[in-house]
Structure 1
């Protein structure tokens, strides 16, 4: 079978103070900008930073815009291996993985930003997991942000990459099976490993982050990122 997944492009966290968290990650922790914090559409703003092999996006919305879909607390955006969404859908089907219909998003000027398709078996009320195909002009800054992190020796926290992403699920067996099917022959061997733990609902539980000095990273995390919602997404340093 042909691979379904290239890599995990990014994860997102919705927060009412997303802009504050983003500024602390950039200005205090010294993490490179994957894309600047800005308004994407009515009542939807976001910005993202690089953790090396994974991008972390902070999303701010009141979910009041009728033209935009509801944004849950957590999201996982996957880069498909195939060149088209139609081909991705065919490959996913051979593994028993369901994909929703294509949904394209545009900026206020009418420029295509991305096309996405949901993965309902890996999603829930609080977690949106989806394949996403971005326009080419969004990639240069992202690619450069990974190199910047290495040049800066991981910023103030000394981050060298993300070892694992832990997802929680109320359907542990099914979710574990589907993640295994989708990631086994992934193209990017450096992407974070996906772990699944039992939970009352679907969501992100933790990121396991490689750092140069665990004790220093834990101390600086508390000092430099006072607004980061650790209760929503744990950072576990190794």
Structure 2
């Protein structure tokens, strides 16, 4: 369960400007969709949940994951995965090596190969295992980034316009796989998107951020 508990984000101005207020609990396996215009604070909220709030903002309220307050924990201890629109793969590593970064160092070589092969196969990219990121199409690139995020077994998942660069057919396939994965593994998901089809496919609550940056 991911709980965004009375979070209030303020932009440092003179005087400070109210930016976004949100209070929501996302249950295990649920995909809650956050929609709103650019500049309404969606990405800033994701950064706060991850522990990367930009210095231009001040925030209050708590982030709880499975009953534990993680508000002051270091980002790498939060066990929250995120997939951005751009993917952000390391250009000097192969697809296999990029995905392997999401796995624990305690995982054996054979387990590592099996796990990565299984995930890549699920998104139709097993044949790309030894390719470099620069050789991938936009859709392949995003799918590899998604697999790398899920390989780390996150306890919660943030999706920031993750399907926007996929063609319609691949978008539906990958979206369905991600949502099924979250349900099977009981991962709470916060989805940021401008696409109403993404929100409809999530089949759960939709929170719209309006012009005053509050739901």
TM-score (norm: length of structure 1): 0.31
Higher helix share: 2
The higher relative CO (CA closer than 8 Å, separation ≥ 6) is in 2
Instruction: Return the structure number with greater strand share.
Output: 1
